[in-house]
Amino acid sequence: MKCPHCHHLDSRVVESREAGDGDAIRRRRECLDCQYRYTTYERIERPNLAVIKKDGSRELFDRQKLFAAIHRSVGKFLTSNLEIEEIVAKVENELYGMGVQEVPSRRIGDLVLEELGRRNEVAYVRFASVYREFKDVSEFQAVLDDLKLRHDESGTSAQS
């Protein structure tokens, strides 16, 4: 691997450890020429997954775009960016676990809502309003009624 400092091609691995949820390996390397130390990550390359958008067009799944969408709509209602990253990782694992090459954007939104419903009811409602493009108060009320029904059935509530 090329040294980012001197561009020499040879390095040695000083340390390796599991990173993330076990889906990556973090390696500390040392350049054999200048002794500069740097970090690399090795991840499994996942197959391309196409997202079928509402208008029928397709684009490649982009986890950064999903993170940004969640952060934009509910960021201040979750405890940290790490919590959003956990949601993105769970959704991504679920999508790739389906073993399909294409997935409707609606399914991705539903998976995000499932995760938000477990964590924070206000975040759930905010994301639902953006994702489902609410036009009036009755649509908010329907989501609130659904949350209340789920709360009554389970006897528990997500954080709010």
Closest by CA position to 21, among listed 68, 103, 88: 88
Encoding tokens for residue 69? Answer: 């969408």
At 17, which amino acid appears?
R
Encoding tokens for residue 104? Answer: 């409707």
Q: What is the pLDDT of residue 156?
A: 57
Q: What span, in angstroms and rounded, lies between the C-alpha atoms of 57 and 40? A: 35
Q: What is the pTM of this model?
A: 0.67
- pLDDT tens by residue, 4-22: 999 999 999 999 999 877 7
Task: Name the band, by pLDDT with cuts 50, 70 and 90, for residue 80.
Answer: confident
| Element holding 73 (H helix, E strand) | helix 63-74
Q: What span, in angstroms and rounded, lies between the C-alpha atoms of 130 and 60? A: 21
| Domain edges within the chain | 11-43, 50-154
